[in-house]
């Protein structure tokens, strides 16, 4: 749903198997209707709640999933996305690390929202939000897999996040290697909120960026 939202917002084709990079928007310049943009954003928010419902084994999940599927546009029903397993994303999604991270956060910080960097932080972000019992939102920023130069923050994202502009927010990425991604993510998102702190599951020893909360330091 995040990919669909990005395509609609930035004038990219809706294709069942091709994953378009954001830079290609300058070439296609497609004009998707405003109604499609509104639907894409509504479905995206619902998809996060649906994923959380699945993670917590909600007995209402089957009903919710059926209702969600019935709302999907035809293009989405044919979407197929694939990718290789990233060992650090998998390590960063390990439940015991996220439980440890949640305990550290809860001991000294009371955020009202988690904003996580997609795509890598999607799976661990869902778990962390459940452990902290907090609302969750994802903003795409994938420097190494998708070659994003900055967080892809649309006007729709800023409007939705403005609900928390006076709140304390937790900014999260699952893996901090060099530290560039989370540092730029934090720098871009921080001005939208009254207060924020950064966090990650794994911080590598060579990272130049030190998040406020870290589940585990890693030398590899």
Can you tell me the distance from the alpha carbon of 64 to that of 19, in angstroms, rounded to the nearest whole number?
27
Predicted local distance difference test score (pLDDT) of residue 83: 65
- 64 and 101, same domain (yes or no): no
Q: 3-class DSSP state for residue 69?
A: helix
Structural domain count, the chain: 2
- Residues ≥6 apart with Cβ < 8 Å to 74: none
The DSSP secondary-structure symbol of 85 reads P
Q: 3-class DSSP state for residue 203?
A: strand
Predicted local distance difference test score (pLDDT) of residue 18: 76
- 100 and 166, same domain (yes or no): yes
- 52 and 97, same domain (yes or no): no
Its sign, for the CA torsion 138, 139, 141, 145, is positive
- 12 and 33, same domain (yes or no): yes
- Boundary-marking domain end, from 77, 108, 127: 77
Predicted local distance difference test score (pLDDT) of residue 145: 73
- 7 and 54, same domain (yes or no): yes
Q: Is 82 a member of any domain?
A: no
Residues 56-99: tens digit of each pLDDT: 999 999 999 999 999 998 878 877 766 666 777 888 889 999 99
Closest C-alpha to 125, from 195, 184, 203, 51: 51
The boundaries of the domain holding residue 36 are 2-77
Q: Is 28 a member of any domain?
A: yes
Per-residue confidence in pLDDT tens, the chain, 220 aa:
998 999 999 998 887 777 778 878 778 888 889 999 999 999 999 999 999 999 999 999 999 999 999 999 887 887 776 666 677 788 888 999 999 999 999 999 999 999 999 988 999 999 999 999 999 999 999 877 777 889 999 999 999 999 999 999 999 999 998 889 999 999 999 999 999 999 999 999 889 899 999 999 887 6
- 72 and 148, same domain (yes or no): no
- 103 and 198, same domain (yes or no): yes
Predicted local distance difference test score (pLDDT) of residue 100: 97
- 11 and 66, same domain (yes or no): yes
- 148 and 45, same domain (yes or no): no
- Which residue shows structure tokens 């702190």? 197
């Amino acid at each position: 749903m995040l990919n669909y939202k990005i395509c609609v917002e930035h004038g990219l084709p809706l294709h069942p198997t091709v994953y378009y990079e954001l830079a290609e928007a300058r070439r296609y310049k497609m004009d998707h209707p405003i109604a499609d943009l509104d639907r894409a954003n509504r479905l995206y928010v619902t998809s996060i709640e649906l994923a959380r419902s699945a993670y917590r084994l909600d007995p209402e999940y089957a009903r919710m999933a059926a209702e969600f599927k019935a709302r999907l546009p035809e293009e989405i029903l044919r979407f197929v996305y694939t990718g290789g397993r990233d060992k650090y994303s998998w390590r960063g999604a390990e439940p015991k690390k996220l439980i440890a991270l949640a305990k550290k956060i809860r001991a000294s910080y009371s955020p009202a929202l988690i904003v996580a960097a997609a795509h890598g932080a999607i799976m661990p972000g869902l778990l962390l939000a459940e452990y902290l019992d907090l609302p969750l939102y994802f903003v795409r920023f994938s420097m190494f897999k998708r070659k994003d130069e900055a967080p892809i923050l649309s006007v729709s994202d800023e409007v939705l996040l403005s609900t928390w502009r006076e709140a304390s927010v937790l900014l999260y990425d699952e893996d901090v290697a060099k530290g560039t991604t989370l540092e730029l993510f934090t720098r871009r998102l921080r001005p939208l909120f009254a207060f924020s702190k950064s966090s990650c599951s794994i911080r590598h020893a060579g990272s130049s960026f030190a998040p406020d909360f870290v589940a585990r330091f890693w030398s590899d």
